[in-house]
Amino acid sequence: MTACSSKPEESHLADLPVLPPQPLDESPDGVRMIEIDGGHKVWTKRVGLGKTKVLLLHGGPGATHAYLECFEKFLPQAGIEFYYYDQLGCGFSDKPNDTSLWKLDRFREEVEQVRSKLGLENFILYGHSFGAMLAIEYALKYGATLKKLVLSNMTGSIISYETYIHELRTKLDPGVQDKLESYEKDGKYDDPQYEALVSQYLDAQYLCRLNPMPEPVERSLKQLSKPVYKTMQGPNEFVITGNLKNWDRWNDLPKIMTPTLAIGARWDEMNPVDIEREAHIMAHARYAYCPNGSHMCMWDDQASYFQQLVPFLKA
């Protein structure tokens, strides 16, 4: 009897993917706590394995990674490895009681420390809303580390945002406008009735148009860090009084040489025309439009969103 050859088995083994070694401080489910300046720790989690690596920056400021969980349905299947990351003061990360930490420049440096300790080189940085603002700041200083950049649902300045949100507000019923102004005049931003008005006439129309809102979105909103949000943004999306109020990068966007995808949506609280303008003035950018989406178009217009995002990440 002729002995069986081992060559077919050797050929089969040779075709198996070679997986990188798991970092010693990474849990079996991909979680790593990254120590940053000040001795604080921030939470990260790797999802999937692949040559294309993406770091996600959530919005808020002060939200959590939770509302980006829909990415798990689309990116790993395309061979894309991505990293959740709760910024300091948010989600599973440390929550120091020090409002002096809630500054854009410090968050930018935090991203660089996270990037370095995760070992990401020539990677893709994705930012949504405030996360896109943070991504712009990062790209302007650390663009050499980037392969690509995604700016989702963020205009080039807070002034542009305020102009458009005021325009949306003037379209409300005059009685609703009067009620909002009455609460705001008295500084009653935490009044449940005022918060209900903002939720009904802003959040349900321009934040996420799904009813009910997806559970991860609800979870992220419930876990919103009020110290971070109020220090940087203000009382709510209608009223901007925080330290981001004067942020403006329109004149600096052309300096970003990284290939970029700028994503806007029809029902966004950010003017989609402004976001298209971003793509036009940046050297190597393209514009993606979600005709049925809002600020959370990764949820309420998933077909348009991921059909444009995934090929850009993979190309």
The residues carrying an active-site annotation are 129, 268, 295
How far apart (Å, rounded) are the C-alpha atoms in residues 215 and 202?
Answer: 19
Question: In the sheet that 41-47 helps form, which strands lie side by side, from edge to edge?
Answer: 31-35, 41-47, 80-86, 52-57, 123-128, 146-152, 260-265, 285-290
Structure tokens at 71: 């990415």
Does residue 243 sit in helix, strand or coil? coil
**Two tokens, residue 59:** 């919005």
Report the Cα 85 to chain-centroid distance in Å.
Answer: 10
Nearest CA-CA partner of 250 in 102, 140, 130: 140
φ and ψ of 255, to 5 deg: -75, -15
Chain centroid to Cα 314, Å, comes to 19
* CA separation for the pair 84, 178 (Å, rounded): 41
CB 140 within 8 A of CB 146: no
List the one residue out of 280, 232, 226 whose CA is nearest residue 131: 232
Residues 6 or more apart whose CB falls under 8 angstroms from that of 108 comprise 134, 137, 138, 141
Beta strands in 129-211 (DSSP E): 146-152
R_g (Cα) of the chain, nearest Å: 21
A 10 A CB-CB count for 41 gives 15
Asked if residues 217 and 129 have their Cβ atoms less than 8 Å apart, the reply is: no
